[in-house]
A and B are shown apart, each in its own frame.
Chain A
Amino acid sequence: MSVVAADRCSKWYGHVLGVSDVTWNLQGGIVGLLGPNGAGKSTLIKMMAGLLRPSRGTLSVFGASPFADVGVRRRIGYAPEHESTWDELTARELVTVMARLAGVPADRAPTAAERAIAEMGMTDAIDRRVKGFSKGMRQRTKLATAIAHDPDFLLLDEPLTGVDPVARVDIVDRIKKLAEAGKTIVISSHVLYEIEALTSEIVVIYRGQVLAEGNVYEIRKLIDRHPHRIRVECDQPRALASVLAAEDHVARIIFERAGVLIETRDPDRCYDQLAAAVLDKGITVSSLSSPDNNLGAVFEYLTGDGRR
C-alpha cells in the first residue's frame, strides 16, 4: 500500500490556487518537496497532515483520508512551517501534551517526550520555556513534537529555515537517522542544497503543479540544460566576451552598462573559463552574480515562463 496516494488532487483558497491536479504516489523513504515560496508545498503537506481537504480529486495516507479519518493521523507526525507554539510552556510540557494528544498513554507520555527531546539534542533546554528559544531551538522542539508518538510517516515543512549552519548540519543528521529507522519522511524546502543533503529523491513543485519527480541529479541535469545566466561587472567586458564567445556552451553574451551578462548551458565550465580569462587578461572583477540562483528563476526556465 502506498504511504501517500494523490489522484488529480487540487486545492483552491477561494479563487487562489494552492495545488493543481497533483497525481503522486509515495511508497516510502525520504522525499524532498522542492519549490519556491508560494509554490504549493505547504498546501500539499497540510493535505497530507489532515489539515486541509482537497477541493477536487482525492488524497489518501495509508489508504484513508487524513482529514476525515482520525485514526490514520496517529501514524503521522507533522512539524509545521510556522513558529507559533504555546510559548508559556516548557519544551517538556509542550512535547508531553502533543504526545498525549497523539495517543501516548498518560504514564508513558513524559518518557516519550524526554526521548524525543533527547533525539533532537534539546535535553539541556528541556525545562526552559519555549518563549526564550532561538529559531533553531524552536525548530528542534517542533521536530520533537512530531516524533514523540513514534509515527510511521513524518511531514516536515521547511524544518531548516532560519537555522544557523552548524545546527542545520546537526538537524539534517538527526532527520537522516529517523529515515534510517524506517520512517517515511516528506521534507519541504525552497533551497535545493538543503534537500540534496538529505535525499536524492525529490518532487519539484511550482505554481501548485508537480513539475518534475525523481532523482535529484536527473532534475539537476534538466535544470542545467537551460541557459544559466552569470552577470560579471568588470573593467574589460569586451576582452572577457572575446574569450568566452567562442565557447560552444555560451548561448549569448549581452553587454551591460558595467559589464556583461553571459548565458551558458554549462555553468561549471563557464565559471572555470571565466576564472582563467580573468587571470590571463588581468581583468579586474568588481562583482560576480547569478540571477538564476533564485530557485524561482530556474523554475521559470523549466516552465518556459523565463523565455516570455
Chain B
Amino acid sequence: MKHEVPTAAATTLTMAALTLKRLARGRVLWVGAIIAALPVMFGALLRARRGPEPAALGDLLWFATLLIAVLPGLFVASSVGEDIEDRTTTYLWSRPVQRGAIVIGKLVAILPILWVLVLASWAASTQVGAQLAPTPNALLAVAGGVTAAAMIAAALATLVPRHGLALTTVYMLFIDFPIGALPASLRYISVSHHVHTIASVRGRAADAPSLAAIALGVICVVWLAIALRRISRLEA
C-alpha cells in the first residue's frame, strides 16, 4: 500500500478539521467568547450613562477594534506558536505536506470563528449601545480587520513562536493603532485605520472605503506571505 503525496487542499482540510476539533475540546473558544462579550457590556454601560441619548458609533467601533487586537492573537498565534513551541510540528513537518498548507488549514478553521465572534459582538454592541442595526460597511470593516490581524498573528507566531499572542496584541495596540491615527501616509499600513475608513467612521476625503478595502487586502497578503515564507524555512 503506497500512497501519493497529499494535495495542498487535502492537507488544508485535514489541518482545518484537526484545528476545529482541538478548539472544540479546549478552553480558547470559551475565553474568546467571553472577550467578545465585553464590547456588548461596554455598549450597555455607555447607554446607561448617557440616558436616552444613544452612544456614538465611533466609541463602539473603538472597542470593537480592541477585539481585533486581541482575538486573532488568542486564536491564531496560539495555535501556530504552540505547535512550534511544543514541537508537535515535528509530526507535521516530517509528513509529505506543504508547510504552507498547515498554516492555511489553521486559518481556514479559525477565521470563520473569529468572524462570527467579532461580528456578533459588533452587531450586539451597536444594538445595545446605539440602538442601531450594524451597517454593511461596518460589518465588512470589522470582518476585514479581524482577517488582517489574523494574518499578522500568523506571521508573528512563526517569527517568535513563544510570544506570538503577546506580540500580536502589542503590535496592534501600540504600533498599528497609533500609526492609524497619524495624519501621515504611514497610516496606510495600519489595519485599524482602514477598518475605521471602511466603516465610514474616520478618514479623509481621499480615503475612499473601496481603496481602504484594497489596502487591507494588500496588508493581508503581505503578512500571509511572511508567515508562509517563514514556516517553509523553519527547522524543528
Contacts and interface: CB of A to CB of B under 8 A. Distances in A.
Interface string A80-96: 10101110110001000
Contacts of A80: 87, 90-91, 94
Interface stretch (A102-110, A246-254, A280-288): A102-110
Contacts of B45: none
A100 B14 contact: yes
Contact of B88 (A49, A86, A150): A86
Most chain A beta-carbon contacts within 10 A, residue among B6, B22, B236:
B6
A96 to B, nearest CB: 9
B21 interface: yes
Nearest to B17: A97
Nearest to B95: A101
Contacts of A1: none
Contact of A89 (B22, B86, B95): B22
B225 interface: no
Given A71-B96, A73-B96, A103-B4, A88 B91 contact: no
Contacts of B11: 101
Interface stretch (A50-58, A165-173, A178-186, A225-233): A50-58
A157 to B, nearest CB: 9
A125 B95 CA distance: 25
A298 to B, nearest CB: 30
A297 B4 CA distance: 46
Nearest to B105: A101
Interface string B19-42: 001100110000000000000000
Interface residues on A, range: 35 or more
B98 interface: yes
A247 B236 CA distance: 53
A8 interface: no
A98 interface: yes
B14 A101 contact: yes
Interface string A138-179: 000000010001100000000000000000000000000000
A46 interface: yes
A145 B92 CA distance: 11
Contacts of B3: 74, 102-105, 149-150
B93 interface: yes
A112 B1 CA distance: 10
Contacts of B86: 84
Given A86-B88, A101-B95, A71 B22 contact: no
B2 interface: yes
Contacts of B15: 101
Nearest to B98: A70
Contact of B94 (A51, A71, A82): A51
A89 B91 contact: no
Given A71-B96, A101-B11, A86 B22 contact: yes
A93 to B, nearest CB: 7
Contact of B235 (A53, A89, A149): A53
B97 interface: yes
B214 to A, nearest CB: 34
Given A97-B14, A100-B14, A150-B1, A51 B22 contact: no
Contact of A88 (B5, B17, B21, B98): B21
Most chain B beta-carbon contacts within 10 A, residue among A49, A52, A86:
A86
27 contacts: A46-B90, A49-B90, A49-B94, A51-B90, A51-B236, A76-B94, A78-B90, A80-B90, A80-B91, A84-B86, A84-B88, A85-B91, A86-B18, A88-B21, A88-B22, A89-B21, A89-B22, A97-B14, A98-B95, A100-B14, A101-B92, A102-B6, A102-B95, A102-B96, A103-B3, A103-B96, A106-B10
Given A76-B94, A89-B21, A93-B21, 17 more contacts: A51-B94, A74-B5, A74-B96, A78-B94, A80-B90, A80-B91, A84-B86, A85-B91, A88-B21, A88-B22, A89-B18, A97-B14, A100-B10, A103-B5, A103-B6, A103-B95, A108-B1
5 pairs of A and B residues whose beta carbons are closest in the complex? A103-B3, A74-B96, A51-B236, A78-B94, A88-B25
Interface of A: 46, 49-53, 70-74, 76, 78, 80, 82, 84-86, 88-89, 93, 97-98, 100-106, 108, 112, 145, 149-150
